Amino acid sequence: MNNHTKIFELLSNKIIEKGKITFKEFMQTALYQPESGYYTGRNIDIGKTGDFYTSSNVHPVFGWCIAQQIYDMWETMGNPSDFIILELGAGTGMLAKDILSYLKKNFQGCFEHITYQILEVSSTLMEKQQVTLNDFQEKLQWGTPQEPIIGVIFSNEFFDALPVHRVKKIGGEIKELYIVLKDGKFSELYDDLSEKEEIMDYLETSGVKLKEGQQIEVCLEAKRWVDKIAAFLKKGFHLAIDYGYLASELDWPHRFDGTLMCYKNHKAVTNPYMDLGEQDITAHVNFSALQSFGEKAGLVNTGFTNQMKFLVNLGIFEKMQIQSSGFSQGNEKKNLALKRLIMPEGMGETFKVLIQHKRLKNFSLKSLKNFG
Ligand SMILES: C[S@@+](CC[C@H](N)C(=O)[O-])C[C@H]1O[C@@H](n2cnc3c(N)ncnc32)[C@H](O)[C@@H]1O
């Protein structure tokens, strides 16, 4: 039985049992059902041979810049001797490898004091990470921190992979999208909110005001993760990189129906109900929610910027040995990588960077400097 059939049967049985399921339950199962979910199945891959690229697949310079950021944070914190880098959702481990390689080569003093810990839900990806990171075994750990850490918790494209509720304003009321069975097929239906208090609190805390007919994803899992991150951190930083928006940008016309998207073989697909377990399902991250829930949980907002400014401030041109004026003639590979990572038509503006901190005072990070 293939993944699609397994997941379809499982979800159909749940719907028969309960009458309807939330989109969040559907997405959670399609992505993370043990053995057959998209991320937890045997076929998951990221990059050229997978369904989508992340920045770490574009060029190792992305990881080198993050390594620079981590080093700056370590220095800002007074060079602690036990410094944990906790990566959430490390994919194939490529980014971790680029970060560790750069720290080892350029910042030996910092490298000696770090432990690199990975929190990963997929055992298939964990196996890939172990192979990719074979050279750094003595630096690595997997799993949840056993006690609050001093260091940095970071992620790239983690929050966009968390399951979401989908809600819409209909007749002046906020309703939720459910999935039911109709003639043996999935069908959509709007009804009262499943987790009313939490969903309404999410909308209010993140400053979302829906217009009539407008739909949005509500990621209660993101709030739960922010709470966990604040609890994991004794002292240090949280750094989240992802595609997303602030609540103030929500009424942009192309976002009126929400931001849910699926990816298969490097193509964007709008139907989440096909190829179950075989296509990625994702939603843009509401960074206003991460900021507001972070503040409630004890994280201070250090700054918010886009990937282009972040990488330029961290020296992407110098690290690629390209003149800071821009693109270099005769080096098409580097130019293409730069274009993808920092130009607005690539990942430069859609991708955002949020930094939060805990128990730190009187510092500034050059990555957040404003320019232009
Ligand atoms: C879109 S991929 C990004 C991978 C990687 N960070 C990169 O940049 O290539 C999302 C990652 O988050 C992991 N993930 C999703 N939900 C998770 C959870 N609840 N706990 C730990 N890892 C999770 C996935 O298995 C996957 O490794």
Q: Global pTM?
A: 0.96
Span from the CA of 192 to the centroid of ligand 1 (angstroms): 31
Contact 367 CB / ligand 1 (< 6 Å): no
pLDDT attached to residue 324 = 53
Helical pair 287-297 and 196-205, crossing angle rounded to 10 deg: 100
Using a 6 Å cutoff on CB, does residue 121 contact ligand 1?
yes
Report pLDDT digits (tens) over 229-241. 999 999 999 999 9
Q: Where are the alpha helices (DSSP H) in the chain?
A: 3-18, 23-32, 55-58, 61-76, 94-106, 108-111, 123-132, 196-205, 220-232, 287-297, 307-313, 316-319, 332-342
Using an 8 Å Cβ cutoff, are 7 and 276 in contact? Answer: yes
The residue ranges of DSSP E strands in 108-164, in sequence order, are 114-119, 140-142, 149-156
Q: Which pLDDT band, with edges at 50, 70 and 90, does 327 fall under?
A: low
| pLDDT higher than threshold 80 for residue 288 | yes
Check pocket membership of 243 for ligand 1, CB cut-off 6 A.
no
- The string of pLDDT tens digits covering residues 5-20 is 999 999 999 999 999 9
Residue 53: pLDDT over 90: no
CA distance 44 to 293: 31
Q: Whose CA is nearest to atom 8 of ligand 1?
A: 156
pLDDT digits (tens, 9 = 90+) for 96-124: 999 999 999 999 999 999 999 999 999 99
Report which protein residue has its CA nearest ligand 1's atom 20.
121
Distance of alpha carbon 319 from alpha carbon 102, whole angstroms? 11
Average pLDDT, the chain: 94
Ligand 1 lined by 222 (C-beta under 6 Å):
no
Q: Which residue type does 16 have?
A: I
pLDDT of residue 226: 98
How far away, in angstroms, is 361 Cα from ligand 1 center?
A: 31
Can you give the pLDDT at residue 326? 56
- Three-point CA angle 258, 346, 106, nearest 5°: 120
Whether the CB of 118 sits within 6 Å of ligand 1: no
Q: How far is CA 251 from the centre of its chain?
A: 22
Residues 6+ apart with CB under 8 A from 67: 98, 99, 100, 102, 103, 106, 107
Residue whose CA is closest, atom 4 of ligand 1?
91
What is residue 322's predicted lDDT score, i.e. its pLDDT? 65
Substitution candidate for ligand 1 out of 29, 58, 66, 120 with most atoms within 8 A of CB: 120
The finding on whether 52 has its CB within 6 A of some atom of ligand 1 is no
Write b or e for each residue in 102-127: b if 16 or more Cβ atoms lie within 10 A of its Cβ, otherwise e.
bbbeebeebbeebebbbbbebebbee
pLDDT band at residue 44 under the 50/70/90 scheme: confident
Count the neighbouring beta carbons within 10 Å of the beta carbon of residue 70: 24
Mean pLDDT of 70-76: 98
Distance 116 CA to ligand 1 centre (A): 16
Q: How far apart, in whole angstroms, are the C-alpha atoms of residue 72 and residue 329?
A: 31
Give residue 253's pLDDT.
77
CB-CB neighbours of 169 under 10 Å: 16
Going by the DSSP 8-state scheme, the letter that residue 335 receives in this structure is H
What's the pLDDT score for residue 214?
95
Residue nearest to atom 5 of ligand 1 (CA): 91
130 pLDDT higher than 90: yes
pLDDT-based confidence at residue 249 (cuts at 50, 70, 90) = confident
The yes-or-no verdict on residue 307 having pLDDT over 80 is yes
Average pLDDT of the segment spanning 25-34? 97
Per-residue confidence (pLDDT) for residue 372, from 0 to 100: 59
Q: Indicate if ligand 1 lies below 6 Å from the C-beta of 120.
A: yes
148 CA distance to ligand 1 centroid (A)?
21
Helix (H) or strand (E) holding 218, with range, is strand 215-218
Mean pLDDT computed over 285-301? 98
Buried/exposed code over 200-224 (b: 16+ C-beta within 10 A; e: otherwise) = eebbebbebebeeebbbbbbbbbbe
Supply 336's token pair: 């293409």
Nearest CA to 58 among 318, 262, 348?
348
